[in-house]
Chains A and B, each alone.
Chain A
C-alpha cells in the first residue's frame, strides 16, 4: 500500500522556470491538500480539493496552480518560480468523515530550491 506518493523528491529551479510537483494517492480519498513548510515554520496550506474537478485556495496560493482531474492525482504547478518559493512541499489526503476531519496522510515531501 503506497499511500501518498510525491515526485520529485528534490529539484533545483532557476528563477522564472516552471514545474509541476506530482502527487498521487491510492486510498480513494476525496480530500487532498498541498502544504509548504519553511524552516522553523509550520505547514501553510496552498490549495486543497474536496473531489475531482473541485479545488479551492488555501492561505498562500499566489504563484501556484492546481488541478484535480481524477480522485488519485493532485498536481501542483509553479509558474515563474521565485526564490520565495524555496520550500519543502507536502501533499496530503484524507477520507471524508462527516463533520470531523479525519487524519491526514502525508507524502514524504518535495524539496524545491529556486536559485
Chain B
C-alpha cells in the first residue's frame, strides 16, 4: 500500500539552529513533492514544491531536497526562530489530481 511517513515525534530545537524534517514514501512514483505548514486551528499553507528532476530547492531560509532513489525528501529550516514553530506536512501524488499527505511533524523552536 502507499505510505507517506514523517517523524511522529515532535522535534524540539534551539533558536538559531537548523531544523531538519524527514519525509519517506513507499509505492509512489511522484512527479513532485510539496511541503506545507500548519498552525494550530488553521488550514495548511503551501511552502515549497520540488519536482522529480530537481535535487534541491531553496526559498529564503527553507531548503528541500528530493531523492527519488532513497524515496525521501528532507526539509531544512536554517537559523530557526520561535515563529517557525508549527506542524510541517509533506504531500505528494503519482500524477494528476489529488495530493496525499503525511501525518506531519511538529516543530518547536525555543528561545
Contacts and interface: CB of A to CB of B under 8 A. Distances in A.
Contacts of B44: 43, 90, 104, 106
Interface string A36-67: 00001111110010100000101100000000
Task: Name, among B4, B31, B97, the residue most crowded by chain A CB atoms within 10 Å (CB to CB).
Answer: B97
A99 B43 contact: no
Contact of A106 (B34, B43, B93, B102): B43
B93 to A, nearest CB: 6
Give the contact-size bracket for chain A: 20 to 34
A33 B96 CA distance: 13
Contacts of A108: 42-43
B43 A40 contact: no
A41 B103 contact: yes
